[in-house]
Structure 1
Amino acid sequence: MYKSSQERMPIYEALQKYKDTRIVPFDVPGHKQGRGNKELTQFLGESCMQIDVNSMKPLDNLCHPVSVIKEAEQLAAEAFGAKHAFFMVGGTTSSVQAMVMTACKRGDKIIMPRNVHRSAINALVVCGAVPVYVNPGVNKELGIPLGMSYEDVKAAILENPDAKAVLINNPTYYGICSPLKRITELAHEYGMLVLVDEAHGTHFYFHDELPVSAMSVGADMAAVSMHKTGGSLTQSSFLLINNNVGEGYTRQIINLTQTTSGSYLLMSSLDISRKNLALNGKEIFDRVIELASYAREEINKMGGYYAFGKELINGDTIFDFDVTKLSIHTRDIGLAGIEVYDVLRDDYDIQIEFGDIGNVLAIISVGDTDLAIERLISALAETKRRYLKSPSGMLDHEYINPQVAMTPQEAFYADKRSIPIEDSTGYICSEFVMCYPPGIPILAPGERITKEILDYIHYAKMKGCFLTGTEDIHIEHINVVKE
């Protein structure tokens, strides 16, 4: 890439010019550069409100870019080594859904790990594609799902040679990476597209010591959460395409669901953050790796906790590990991850990314300081001192292999009835049940409800996990397919 080109920020520059020209707005939004909503302007600031604008000729149009947005997309593609990059303002959820719907039509098969984010299964509900689930490996000591095994993917491909695509989580929420290059090459041998949910892998593109990125190994599409580790505003994302994936058709798919009123706050944050990563990414992630590695070492010294890392690598289901992820196993101190999550927030004013049944995850970024890391380490040590107890009787796994009885679309739109969740064993689920974050379904539409799953849901509720997905907000009833 040319450094000079990456110094450009076309959307940011166009917005600055717009502000300087003192345009009188007779278009939307109705707050008219903040003048019509004083409280919001005081809260967000005049600079922010002045660039919360609608599409116009000098600022281009996200649905059909021809000038500054188009140029910004080209610079992003160059920075990420892609054929094209789309600015996405509906989060990486919209990027994942666009990938699936670009690759698959109604009835087409798609091979994917079952521990996908709900956005991927939502895409199946919308477009009618049929999932071929590859159950991930499971680390029994940590209780977490792992990556996709090469042999398991190969078996799925051989059993379903008519599948259109393979979708891969890389990395998982916990930092686990699959053998991405080998799976990509295998899928291409059978004429299948490779789609990568890279929501937690933005930084892979900007540091040689981190796991390989989707575009670098020849994957066809990747959904990249710039807001998670790339510095942009929440809800902003890139969708990258490669090889023979058509730019025009992909944009048509995106425009089926993405807003026609793209936020210039989100787009400019992508533009500015891309420049920062392209020019300074190596130094930024040197610092992140240093902070995360120090924290991992100190946490492991105190005992009880296990901040896991590259020692888990096995060349297959844990092909590589993202060392910027501070994933910490908590069960050995007698606390579920969600309980540690709550203690850190309620007692120490520390907000971490998520806690589940056995682990917590702290996201480390360039925005962190040495002092903040020390505060986290101290709070974990205090939590252990105050609450340490025997782990006996604790649930020891996060992932349960599903029994798939119907496609997600068939089950979601089927005739259904609501029954008490404790009476639902044996029925086919017609909706989602999941803990958020991370948003990986415990149950998805079309899966048979088992006693093991109900025990898990009961345990998660008891421990304080935030359960979502059901029509009944209290998760006391569940929609099942009428039989």
Structure 2
Amino acid sequence: MNILSQQRAPIMEALNKYKKMRVVPFDVPGHKRGRGNEELTAFLGENCMSFDVNSMKPLDNLIHPVSVIREAEELAADAFGAKHAFFMVNGTTSAVQAMVMTACKAGEKIIMPRNVHRSAINALIISGAIPVYVNPGSNKELGIPLGMAVEDVKQAIKEHPDAKAILINNPTYYGICSNMKEITALAHRHGMLVLVDEAHGTHFYFSEELPASAMSVGADMAAVSMHKSGGSLTQSSLLLINNEVSEGYVRQIINLTQTTSGSYLLMSSLDISRKNLALHGEEIFKKVMNMARYTREEINKIGGYYAFADELKNGDTIYDFDLTKLSVHSLDIGLAGIEVYDILRDEYDIQIEFGDIGNFLAYISVGDRHLDLERLVSALAEIKRRYSTDKSGLFDHEYIKPQVVYTPQKAFYAPKETLPMAQSVGRISSEFVMAYPPGIPILAPGERITGEILEYIQYCKDKGSFMTGTEDREIEHINVVKESEQ
């Protein structure tokens, strides 16, 4: 048995060895190490193209790894404290879907907060699992959804003791964490699996100063976006499993939807990034926390903005807070978060992560420089001076409790008709409407359309949010379940 060494990067090592062998390629991809596509090679670089190779014996195979990919996954599991780690090349979306589909078959229930990413509800459409939504708490001053209250989870379990699993966000996009340890213990006492969407929580595994990670509290599965705070290439992710979850069965579930042509660029980026985090993660994220803390303090000195952090903790719906997050409330200067987002990009050449109605988020990582932080702070001060206005008339909430009528799968596949948005009040949506990012549905398939929801959607559009989800690209019409089906 090999002794695991976090100094290793098995996939990178195998690719370097293979490149030195100067093998003549009569396999795919057809660009043949870049020679067949000169413009792409000039754009991406010869080294990148030479490592875009096919699965073969020396390089293993993602759908059934037995050598270098297997070893890289074992190293990732060791680094993250999991029983096993799967390399995912279809993004954390596919990892979330694999978790739900592992835990629930068609007709089985899963308890989840309604402010989940669309990938979780997509998994319900694919699998036929039935959601039991727990409405998250909300902070009326900031207008943001929070975590799940433990008592609300207890009530959901009491009303649905046959549920197979509970899904938890750790953290939310804004950096807010539920009491995951208590919810995990509660779920396990009732024989339910605990699935954790850790798209924004990679760094939790590498610092004692940050909130607890899914694996550390005994959760059963976690989807981890290594490409966000972990440093790997976009679309690369990890799926972690723990306890009695079957590695073989999860692999089968993953292979239902994940590509059979796993990208070695994505896999090697996971391998190299895991090595970097395992060896240097603690110091990396200490630096990120310090940068975020400094920037929060400077923004709060401007006045009008509120860069919030762990002072919000209340022991339940805000059980903990991710100190690397730079989440900022902007309504007190009379601007929606998306308006600050647009001004920063269009007039200051500063691209932040997202803006919504009341808040915006700047994503801080080890790749940032102090000079860039100063530039952001000075731009925000200038925006306040130039654009600050009366806050009356601004929306002050980000979450509307849904009226769930049908399961997402039933509504999505039901006979449907298309109506202008304004004429759809009272009908049942058969598709999503959401602002992206963050990709949390305002309206999901199976939910009743209300005047309040339509007003909120129109407000988001008016403020410049990028709206997605409907078949109609203009988001002027919506597909609803035919009345004969209701």
Other-structure match for 1:211:
211
SS in 2 for 1:219: coil
Alpha-carbon distance in structure 2 between the residues aligned to 1:416 and 1:82: 44
Alignment of 1:35-114 (within 5 A): 35-114=35-114
CA offset digits 1:182-201 (Å, max 9, x no partner): 00000000000000000000
CA offset digits 1:234-277 (Å, max 9, x no partner): 00000000000000000000000000000000000000000000
Alpha-carbon distance in structure 1 between the residues aligned to 2:282 and 2:275: 13
Other-structure match for 2:358:
358
SS in 1 for 2:5: helix
Alpha-carbon distance in structure 2 between the residues aligned to 1:336 and 1:26: 55
Q: Is the 8 A contact 2:138 2:145 kept in 1?
A: yes
Q: Is the 8 A contact 2:4 2:75 kept in 1?
A: no
Other-structure match for 2:30:
30
Alpha-carbon distance in structure 2 between the residues aligned to 1:19 and 1:48: 12
1:223 has 2:223 as partner: yes
Alpha-carbon distance in structure 2 between the residues aligned to 1:465 and 1:91: 23
Alpha-carbon distance in structure 2 between the residues aligned to 1:4 and 1:237: 21
* Residue identity in the other structure for 2:440: I
CA offset digits 1:322-357 (Å, max 9, x no partner): 010000000110000000000000001000000000
What is the Cα deviation at residue 397 of structure 1? Answer: 0.5
Q: Is the 8 A contact 1:3 1:279 kept in 2?
A: no
Alignment of 1:153-192 (within 5 A): 153-192=153-192
Identical residues among aligned pairs (%): 78
Alpha-carbon distance in structure 2 between the residues aligned to 1:468 and 1:193: 31
CA offset digits 1:116-166 (Å, max 9, x no partner): 000000000000000000000000000000001000001000110000000
SS in 2 for 1:85: strand
* Residue identity in the other structure for 2:303: G
CA offset digits 1:266-317 (Å, max 9, x no partner): 0000000000000000110110001000000000011000000011000000
Alpha-carbon distance in structure 2 between the residues aligned to 1:409 and 1:398: 25
Other-structure match for 1:232:
232
Q: Is the 8 A contact 2:92 2:199 kept in 1?
A: yes
Alignment of 1:235-314 (within 5 A): 235-314=235-314
Consecutive unaligned residues in structure 2, runs of 5 or more? none
Alpha-carbon distance in structure 1 between the residues aligned to 2:388 and 2:466: 23
Other-structure match for 1:426:
426
SS in 2 for 1:173: coil
Alpha-carbon distance in structure 2 between the residues aligned to 1:100 and 1:4: 30
Alpha-carbon distance in structure 1 between the residues aligned to 2:240 and 2:482: 41
Alpha-carbon distance in structure 1 between the residues aligned to 2:28 and 2:379: 47
* Residue identity in the other structure for 1:301: K
SS in 1 for 2:292: helix
SS in 2 for 1:362: strand
Alpha-carbon distance in structure 1 between the residues aligned to 2:3 and 2:233: 24
Other-structure match for 1:376:
376
What is the Cα deviation at residue 4 of structure 1? Answer: 6.9
Normalising by structure 2, report the TM-score.
0.99
SS in 1 for 2:454: helix
Alignment of 1:132-143 (within 5 A): 132-143=132-143
SS in 2 for 1:14: helix
Q: Is the 8 A contact 1:143 1:399 kept in 2?
A: yes
* Residue identity in the other structure for 2:46: E
Other-structure match for 2:117:
117
* Residue identity in the other structure for 1:440: I
SS in 2 for 1:272: helix
Alignment of 1:299-448 (within 5 A): 299-448=299-448
Alpha-carbon distance in structure 2 between the residues aligned to 1:385 and 1:59: 57
SS in 2 for 1:317: coil
SS in 2 for 1:35: coil
SS in 1 for 2:437: coil
What is the Cα deviation at residue 409 of structure 1? Answer: 0.3
SS in 1 for 2:360: strand
Alpha-carbon distance in structure 1 between the residues aligned to 2:389 and 2:372: 27
SS in 2 for 1:239: strand
Alpha-carbon distance in structure 2 between the residues aligned to 1:31 and 1:382: 49
SS in 2 for 1:5: coil
Consecutive unaligned residues in structure 1, runs of 5 or more? none
Other-structure match for 1:8:
8
Q: Is the 8 A contact 1:407 1:446 kept in 2?
A: yes
Q: Is the 8 A contact 2:178 2:319 kept in 1?
A: yes
Alpha-carbon distance in structure 2 between the residues aligned to 1:373 and 1:158: 48
Q: Is the 8 A contact 2:137 2:148 kept in 1?
A: yes
CA offset digits 1:210-229 (Å, max 9, x no partner): 00000000000000000000
Alpha-carbon distance in structure 2 between the residues aligned to 1:457 and 1:468: 11
What is the Cα deviation at residue 3 of structure 1? Answer: 10
SS in 2 for 1:151: helix
* Residue identity in the other structure for 2:226: M
What is the Cα deviation at residue 23 of structure 1? Answer: 1.1
CA offset digits 1:47-97 (Å, max 9, x no partner): 000000010000000000000000000000000000000000000000000
* Residue identity in the other structure for 2:268: S
SS in 1 for 2:110: strand
CA offset digits 1:348-391 (Å, max 9, x no partner): 10000000001000110000010011011111111111101010
Alpha-carbon distance in structure 1 between the residues aligned to 2:302 and 2:434: 32
Alpha-carbon distance in structure 2 between the residues aligned to 1:419 and 1:4: 58
What is the Cα deviation at residue 30 of structure 1? Answer: 0.5
CA offset digits 1:374-421 (Å, max 9, x no partner): 011111111111101010000111110000000000000000000001
SS in 1 for 2:71: helix
Q: Pick closer, same or farther for the CA change 1:274–1:3 going to 2, 3 Å.
A: farther
* Residue identity in the other structure for 2:420: P
Q: Count matched residues.
A: 482
Following TM superposition, where does structure 1 have runs of at least 4 consecutive aligned residues deviating by more than 4 angstroms? none
RMSD: 0.8
Q: Pick closer, same or farther for the CA change 1:179–1:3 going to 2, 3 Å.
A: farther
1:131 has 2:131 as partner: yes
Alpha-carbon distance in structure 2 between the residues aligned to 1:3 and 1:392: 63
Alpha-carbon distance in structure 1 between the residues aligned to 2:363 and 2:460: 22
